Each structure stands twice: as structure tokens, then as C-alpha cells.
Structure 1
Amino acid sequence: MLLLSFSSFSQTQESIKFSPNEIAVISQFGPWPPTSNIPDLTNSLDQDPVAIQLGETLFFDTRLSANNQVSCATCHQPKKSFTDQNPLSAGLDLGTRNTPSLFNVRQKNWYGWGGDIDTLWGASIRALLSPFEMGINIKKVSTYLKINDYKYRDLLSHQKWKTAQTDQEKLAFLGKLLASYQGTLISPKSEFDLFREALLKQDKEQMSRYSQAKIKGLKLFIGKGNCHFCHSGPLFSNNEFADIGMSYFDREGKVDKGRYQGIKNLKKSPFSSLGIHNDDTSNQSKTLAKHVTLKHRNFGEFMVPSLRNITFTAPYMHQGSLANLDAVIEHYSNIDEERLHTDGIAILKPLNLSAEEKANLKAFLESL
């Protein structure tokens, strides 16, 4: 066992031990930021400096919306960790789901709470087309871009725009520009990341700066809580979907089928990796979408979100129904097993956390 005994701790504080297995789990939560920058094969504009700059301009441009008042940044506000911190997104109209953060969005395999699309540019196009979000009219936007030649000269002169024959091709191009910018949004190194690095190096001075409450919360996260089975890897997400006993009904009382409908939408979208606008000639990018199959248990499953920057992305869950971290922890502490799928993977059980355990787990989550 590895003994952590910090000089900054008082005599009354207990020493905390991590087993080799626990250290191995902790090591898998990094490194952060990501050390490799794997290109998005579906998007030939990915990592192109001009595309990134154009994408950023488009991201903040309200003239892409039906009423000229809504931009991508309306819901994904930089000062709010690229969310809007509202329970439900509100663009042209009030939506039915919570706005996820765009930080680290490049690291994901699926987009949207139901995984309706598997390309970042396709996710951008879904928002552009949605009557709840931006309701784009591509013909009106094309005219606007030409009028603002000084602002979008590089866009209008790009070969892909000049050769685009259909509205779909133009939308795909705009989506790929937006995705190029969004792919640069990486959350900064966190307090936990510094502790993880120190733990692996056995830098006791740096380790001592991480409070005992956070260390206890970490042990709970990878131990009794079993949180790391879904919230795994450097992103603190397995990039998949789960049923955690949340309501299937949206604000209008309609059933939200979650991943079940998401897979159906994915398979028929022209903007997915399986569609004609994928720039990947190797077909590598199609593997996940090609092999995903619709199962009954997908009904009511929703995205397992990243926990990075979680302090700044409240409220939580797909409908923004849990206002703060205390409510999230309470949900898992007293989870109603009657609301979980009987044919799902039986990971979730009521944790029955004590007041101290809840405080420690919250302290750890706040350090992410």
C-alpha cells in the first residue's frame, strides 16, 4: 500500500492509503490536457487555421438564425463554460434538453444527449436547423455572406463553398467550419490534475496541497461509489449512454426516448459519418456508427457527460432537473432502483452516503 502522510496534516488527521490498483485507476484519468491531437478524419477543415478563425466568427454571428438574434454563443456562452446555465436551452424557442458544455467536445464519439449524430460538424448543423435553436435558412445566409464579403472573404473563396451545388453541401461546409473552431476548446488543467501528476511522481509537497476531503472523495469516487465505471478516462466519461433513473418525459409531457431515438436519427442523418458529406476516404471513422445497434434498453438512456469543469455547468442531467452538485449526489445516494431498466447493466445501487461522505465527494468533484 502507498502511504500518503503530509506534513501539513494535523496529528489528529488520519493517513490515507491508496492501493496499487487504486493508483492504476487514478492514472487513467489523465494526462490532461490531451497530449495527442488526433485529426478528425470526417472533416478535412479540421485544425486548419483559416477554418478555425472563420468558425469562430460564425459561432458568434446572430445572422445565421431565423430572427437574426440567436447565435451558437447564445446557448454556449464562453463565460459560462460554453453553456447557458439554464435548465433547458433557449434559442428561437424553449427547448426540451439542457445545454451541454462545448469544452473538450472534440474528445467525444457521439453528440447530443441521445447521441443523434457522431460528427462534431453534424452536431453544429443540427443546431443550425433546429426550430428551437437557430432555424437557419441557408439561402438567406448565403445572401448575407455575400453582402458581408469583407468578413467572410476566405469562406466565399474556398473551393468547397464555390463548388457546393446544394443546400446540404453548403450546410456541411458551414458545419465543418464551426467544428474546426469548437475543436480548439479545451478546459484548463484542474486541481485534480495537479494532484494526479504529483501522486504518480510521488511529489509530496504538491500532493499536500490537495485537501484530505478531496482525497477521501476521490477514494469514494473510485471505490464505494463506482462512479469511475461510467465516468472514466481523462474526460471522466466513457463516451456512452446510461439509464440513471431520470424521467423520460420532457417539459411538454412527451416521452423523450433518449438513445433509442438517437440511434434512429444517427442512421438516417446525411451529416453523420455514414453520410455522403464525410471527408474520410479510409472509412475508419464509420466503424462505431456502422456497428451500433438498436436495443430495447437504449430507451431512456442518455449521454454520460464529462465531469470536467462540472462546477460551472449546473444545472445537471439531460433536462437540467438537478440544480446543483448536492442534488446530484443525493440522487445517487438514494437512487430508486425501481426506475432502472431490468435488462440493463446492474451497476447502480443506492449508495446510502453519510453527510461526511457527501461533503467529501462534492469536494472532489469541485476539484475537476
Structure 2
Amino acid sequence: MNPTLRFGAVGFGLIAVTYGFARFAFGLFLPQISADLALGPALAGLISGGAFLAYCVAILASAALTERIGPRAVAVTAALVAGIGMVGIAAAPGAIPLAGAVMLAGSSTGLASPPMAAAVARRVAPAGRDATNTWINAGTSAGVALSGPIALALGAEWRFAFLGFALAAFALALAAARVVPAGGGRMAETAGLTGILNGGIARLVAASFLTGAASTAIWSFGGELAAIRLGWGTEGTGALWVGIGAAGIAGAFAGRLVARFGIDPVHRAFLALMAAGILGVGAEFASPATAIAGGALFGAAYVMLTGIYLVWGVTALPDRPATGLTVAFLTLAIGQTVGAPLFGLILESLGPDTAVAAFAALGLGGALARADRSAPAVRRRSARFNPRATPCGNQSP
């Protein structure tokens, strides 16, 4: 296999395992986990929010470590942490050990993303970086889609499912050790997140925060909403997850859509689709057909939006790709850290109608943030990785 294709496949697999299994599969199995360990919606929301909080800490550490020790070591660590965390989930006897294991598994996603961005910048020619980045990013959808059939096959045996997920993570650690490039990053990135704030970055922070918060309606509580609205158990929720993941493959085309139409129109369109997906799954009018369709809309929209934020962040800081990605994905996760417990609290106190409507509207609020007000670098791939091009909100050097 072509070395670049092999690298892309391993990156895709690493993101599938860390995001699809270690982070988002918790929402798929949440009804069964809650029943077995006596978790209520508010406590489940706090545990889910803890995973996103761990992500926030991990992605900051990962961005710094990627520049110091290189992408290979950090990518391997991400896979190992995912595996250990999921073994902990499988073995958790109660809420507190579960919370710790969920946080550890969730932190693997923060560890995985920056080394992939840095490795793409090193391994792939500039013209292919958007496509490669968004293809690797779409690994999330593959992991989510695969977790659905596993849930269908295993039913309520969520502990065995997480053990299987852990084995996949350990296998990806071996693959990453062979394929991801080693060596430290460029010195331009050692400043971390200091000195990067500008108008384009500030608007990225606002948009990704709101999107992250809104997405927890499905990622953390999609299974709960399906159980409340439709009485679905593991089988129905597994089918929902298959729909979310399969449609999420569309996110691999984020780079191409942005190159053709620009960030802002693509961003607004997929925020609207995400809101529609949340309503399709959790609104009072939900039916099996709207739930599956809503899951597909949500999956396609969420992975597409993360691809947009990835391109937005890397475009804004073309000489610091890991840092640009960190800004985008860190604020997305901060939104999820806040959103998951907030949704659980509203669901428990005010009911699903209010919670679902509020979070659909929250996601639409991100459309008010524009990627750029004038600079063509955001809108044309030919300028996107040119250090002399005008990045989001900055003046040309």
C-alpha cells in the first residue's frame, strides 16, 4: 500500500477507536449502564461531562507533547490510554469507578487529534492536507457506525462490548507505532496557545463552543431520548447509532465543500441539519422513521462541522497546525463539558420537550459566528496552507 494511504488508514482507525469507541459509545450504552449501576439522568450527564473535561485537559497536553516528542509517541499513547480506559469501563462496579474510567477513555480523544494534524503537515503535500485531515477526522463516524452492530449483537452486555473496543485500541497502538512519523515538531509551535487570539479565532471559539454544547443532546443522551420517546432498548438504539455513524462518513468531504463554497455557507447549512437531527430524535413528534433520519442528519452534520472547524483552525494558523486544531477541538469539548450536565439537569427537571428544543436552538446560534469577513485564504484551498496568505482575521505579514 502507498505509504500516504497507509498513514491515512491508520489515522482514520485511530480516530475511529478513540472518538467512536472510547468517547461516544458511552451514550449508546448509557441506558443499560444506567440500569445496571443505578445512574439517574443528572448523574449520567455529570459522568459524560467528565469525559469531555478530560478531553480538554488532554488536548492541551497533547499539543505541547506533539511538538516536543513528536506525533508518533503521542498517537501511540492515545491508543493505549483509550484501551486502558475502556477496560476500566468494562470492569466498573459502581458510579465512581465508572466516572474515572470514562474520563480516562475520553481523554484519549484529546491526545489523538493534535499528533494527527502535525503528522499530516509533515507527511502530506499542502494540496492534499485538507482532504487528508477531514478524511482522518471522519474516522469518528466509522467508530460510531461499528459500535451500533456490536450493541445489536451483544444486547445488554455492555461490559463485553467495551472489552472488545479495548482490544481494537491496543491493536491501533501497534499500527501507529509503525506508521505515524516520529520526531519533534517545529519550534514555531512551542508557544502553545499564547499569542494566537484574533477575530477569526475568537469567532471559531464561539461557534465550536455552541456546536459542542448542542451535540451532547445526541452524543450523551441519544439513547435516553430514544428510550423516552419510542421505548427503544439496545436494538433500537444500536440502529440509531448505525445511522449516525454511517451518515457521518459524509464528513470526509468537508475539505472539498469548504474549498468550493467557503466555510461560512457550509457551516450554516450543517448547523441547521444538526438542529433538525436533534429534533428528529428527541422532539415530541419523534417516530422510528424520524429518529433514524434525525440520527443520520446529526451524524453527517456533526462530523462535517468538526471537519469545518479543523480546516478553520488550521487555516487560521497555517504554520502551527496542531495548535490551530487544538483551539477548534478544545472549545468544542469545553462546550460538551458544559452541555452534557446541563442537558441532563434540564431533562430531569423540565422534561425532554424543553431540553431538546433548547439544545437545537443552541446549535443554531453558532451560525452567527463567521469564519472570515474578507480574507480569501479561508475560501480557497490554493491559499489555505500558504504562509504568505492572509489567515482568518489577520493582516498579511
TM-score (norm 1): 0.29
Higher normalized helix content (fraction of residues)? 2
Taking CA–CA contacts closer than 8 Å with sequence separation of 6 or more, which of the two structures ends up with the larger relative contact order? 2
